[in-house]
Amino acid sequence: MNFKDKNAIFCALDMKDTDLAVSFTKSILDYIDGVKIGMEGFYSMGIDGYNRIQDLKLPIFLDLKLHDIPNTVNSAIKSLLPLEPFMLNVHVTGGSEMMLSAKKAIEESINEKPLLVGVTILTSMNESSFKEQGLKLDIENQVTKLAKLALKSGLNGVVCSPHEAKKVKDICGEEFLTVVPGIRPRIADSQDQKRIMTPEEAVKNGADILIIGRPLTRSKDPKSAAKEIRISIENNDN
């Protein structure tokens, strides 16, 4: 997949039922570039479910947000590599040593080498979320600091909200991937996300990979919803 040529849509398959996840993915196959399997889906469907989705020949972003001591993360990555995901992620707040250990596991592997990206600050959080923890942080500045640390640690990009994508690109370079959740068409609700944008806005603001879940998975007509999002992005590129 050439991210220079197009903005990629990855559908977040936050589902517990493998048959449903497979049939749903087939229904929107023509309008997406990959799927994201997070903790809910992976822990529920297991490796057998993962393999059935992989049989659809779409890139898989295995979104497990690893965050532990360096040795544990290194071992966890090695355990996941035989699944041949397109992309894995770790929390940048685990520190440079942890990220370097994760990267080392990938570099030493005989399996396909996935992209490795770092989670900066969850899109469910805002300044109020930090305040209740006794922290005083400017989210945009904190995200860019974490992005620079991820770049220094050899990661391929970061997960950030669409609001920070452009600044991350400005600081870390165009080749540094911005994986962007918090994508909501104007008619959709935000519910679990606070720092959100429409697909068109996110594209304009530097998003490389758009992670889209509920606007597709909870749509009455997922195929039409996926097609509409795809067209809106392509129109924005022209």
Q: How far apart are CA 171 and CA 176, in angstroms?
A: 9
Instruction: Tell whether 2 is covered by a domain.
Output: no
Instruction: Tell whether 1 is covered by a domain.
Output: no
Any idea what the CATH number is for the domain that residue 181 is in?
Answer: 3.20.20.70
pTM: 0.91
Q: What is the pLDDT of residue 236?
A: 67
Tell me: pLDDT of 96 over 70: yes
Catalytic residues: 65
How many domains does the structure of the chain reveal?
1
For 110-137, what is each residue's pLDDT tens digit?
888 999 999 998 877 777 777 787 767 7
The residue with greater pLDDT, 114 or 5, is: 114
Tell me: pLDDT of 24 over 50: yes
Instruction: Tell whether 128 is covered by a domain.
Output: yes
Q: What is the pLDDT of residue 178?
A: 96
**Please, what is the angle between helix 70-80 and helix 96-107, to 10°?**
30
Q: What is the pLDDT of residue 237?
A: 61
Q: What is the pLDDT of residue 1?
A: 43
Q: How far apart are CA 89 and CA 68, in angstroms?
A: 12
For 50-78, what is each residue's pLDDT tens digit?
999 999 999 999 999 999 999 999 999 99
Average pLDDT for residues 189-198, to the nearest whole number?
61
Instruction: Tell whether 3 is covered by a domain.
Output: no
Instruction: Tell whether 106 is covered by a domain.
Output: yes
Strands 60-66 and 34-38 turn out to be: parallel
Task: Select from 4, 55, 7, 3 the least CA-distant residue to 29.
Answer: 55
Q: What is the pLDDT of residue 38?
A: 96
Q: How far apart are CA 77 and CA 70, in angstroms?
A: 11
Domain that holds residue 142: 8-237
